[in-house]
Amino acid sequence: MFDKILIANRGEIACRVIRTCRKLGIRTVAVYSEADADAQHVRQADEAYPIGGPRPADSYLRGDAIIEVARNCGAQAIHPGYGFLSENADFADAVEAAGIAFIGPKAASMRKMGSKAGAKELMQAAGVPVVPGYTGEDQDPAHLHRQADAIGYPLMIKAAHGGGGKGMRIVRDSDEFLANLESCQREARNAFGRDRVLLERYVERPRHIEIQIFGDAAGQVIHLNERECSAQRRYQKVLEESPSVFLTPELRAQMGAAAVLAGRAIDYVNAGTVEFIVGQDADGKPGGFYFMEINTRLQVEHPVTELVTGQDLVEWQLRVAAGEPLPLAQEAIVQRGHAIEVRLYAEDPEAGFLPGSGKLERLRLPPADAHVRLDSGVIEGDTVTIFYDPMIAKMIVFDSDRPRALARLRGALAACEIVGPKSNIEFLERLARHPTVVGGTIDTGYLDRHLDEFMPAANPDEAGDRDLLIGATVAELLTQEQRTREDAGASNDPTSPWAIADGWRLGHGGRRSLAFLRRDERLELQAHGSGGEYRIEIPALDAAAYTVQGARLADGELSLRIDGRARRLSALGDGQRVVMHDGERRLRLDAVPMYRHESSAAAGSGNSVNAPMPGRVVVVKAAPGDTVEAGQEVMVIEAMKMELSLKAPRAGKIAEIRAAAGDFVEADAVLATLEIV
């Protein structure tokens, strides 16, 4: 076994590898960019060395710099994690040439699988079912267009190299093909350095099933069963689980055998994942399965497999790379229980899942135990930067069966609070309660077709939302009263007039006005009373007054009666905000001054194109003097590995373009202006 390894990655996966290395007594070496000088993987490793600037191309994609660090520090092996250089065959070759072990498959296997086109052709020759399409090397746009027309629509354009949902487009009509091809190639070029694409027939309403495989240097290849990843948005997985409730035992066995066949066909060594799409009939029953690709690395969702098999796949990787045989034979792989994974991201689902950045002012996650696992690369106080994936943590839950695992997931999400950049927690909570997830019927396109079902209601008019709003108001009132008593030094004197003071009058409760922001909507409330007995009015909802009795707030729990109905709610707050949860839904309110001075600063906002977040300008599609229509694309910026299209707010003539391709821009920066009319 190795004594010291270098981890050529960052964030959550680097911390994950460090954890197993510590268990095995292996020293770890981290590398980091300028943006990651204070990151958790740097702090947790035994040694850490800088390798360049904040952009991946200047640091984590610099194979030469990484290998030089490994040589200088005496690392015997390099673990690439996932992403960055993990599936780069040239890097794997260079590592081996330097006399350092690469903790992953052979470069030859990676080359066969690194191209989706080549992988598809190889699998077809090996007898693995594939979807009809075009994988040729002729990438002339006109030729690709003819091939697309011959395959038929709908079809998918896919980057031949890379993964993670980048460089993929669905095209439903011939007229849409060339524009989608250009966008797909540009995204692939920026993400993976290569813009070759392949075309394949798009299977409607498919299920996404992947099989974890493992091989060793002696030629043994096994599988560790499946993970279902059908809950996706724009090809990005948002929930993964094992086992799949969709598969029959017969189909599971067939797919496992096909995955092993695929691994043996390319002499596969170390961890890999064979991805399939599975069709379904009108009744939702499984149809045929088709090879999609092989990911020649450890997958982001590998903890799902670890929890149901009881195996440490990173330890398997290390042992196989050190020349040891696979720890278990196929017949010794035992699966128990059910595991589900979701990813907490710094993103705003209500703004099109716009990635976020900024300091994690508060990061509260549930305690890890036998049922909840948390893999993260950040802690409270860290910053989510614009340069990399905005993942905050992976949450993986486990229990004896799927209903219990879903209940664990909902409970774990309810215990989360993130303050700083916006997050997708509420979206994940709605996902975990949605009938298609609970019933195990969601297909890969469902989220994109029905995204509104996972978004919050426009108005808090449901009884549950109303109770949360009343609860938040009561929690704020009780907190104010406690603060007033403490300031007066009478917190332990129930006979003091301050014991029921509301800050305005002594000895009795007067009227208080409060104002909150709820998802940028201002809500004003009126409250009468004190000491847990209130009458609350919410004019924005209705003209009714709600009676609250017996309200008590202790240890983050609020108990109260609303119009005689007893409720118990979770309440978290810090004086500036309050987060309420009833076990199913969440409400966050930010306290704001009751009285405000209106500003005209927003005037003229329809005359400019602004950056929605920090990023890099990829392409500028307009010039001063150009006439544009409302909604016409003016510029494209890249942030957190995503392309964002910036469009004209109205029809008019471009007055100024204030950024060029390659420029880094800050959030809210004015990038283009329209002539005032």
Who contacts 178 (Cβ-Cβ below 8 Å, separation ≥6)? Answer: 141, 145
Q: Which residues are part of the catalytic machinery? A: 297
Distance CA 166, CA 184 (A): 8
Neighbours of 268 (CB within 10 A): 27
Burial class of residue 306 (count of CB atoms within 10 Å of its CB; 0-12, 13-18, 19+): buried
* Residue 622 token pair: 């307009």
Lateral strand order in the sheet of 133-134: 133-134, 197-201, 155-159, 168-171
Neighbours of 263 (CB within 10 A): 25
- E strand or H helix at 407, and its extent? helix 402-414
State whether the Cα torsion 411-412-417-423 is positive or negative.
Answer: negative
Q: What is the DSSP letter of 605?
A: G
Distance CA 143, CA 120 (A): 20
Distance CA 219, CA 326 (A): 10
- E strand or H helix at 185, and its extent? helix 177-192
Distance CA 587, CA 577 (A): 11
Distance CA 642, CA 621 (A): 18
* Residue 501 token pair: 């003071």
* Residue 456 token pair: 């919050």
Name beta bridge partners: 609.
672
Question: Among all chains, which residue has been given the structure tokens 């994109």?
Answer: 448
- Distances in whole angstroms, Cα of residue 218 to Cα of each of 221, 227, 267, 324: 9, 26, 10, 9
Amino acid, res. 614: P
- Distances in whole angstroms, Cα of residue 325 to Cα of each of 127, 280, 522, 632: 27, 38, 62, 58
- β-strands 521-530, 533-537 pairing: antiparallel
Distance CA 119, CA 475 (A): 58
Distance CA 84, CA 52 (A): 14
C-beta separation of 15 from 376 below 8 A: yes
C-beta separation of 1 from 27 below 8 A: no
* Residue 365 token pair: 């996650």
Task: Kindly report the length of the chain.
Answer: 677
Neighbours of 42 (CB within 10 A): 18
Distance CA 7, CA 321 (A): 14
C-beta separation of 54 from 33 below 8 A: yes
303: phi then psi, degrees, rounded to nearest 5: -60, -25
- E strand or H helix at 347, and its extent? strand 347-348
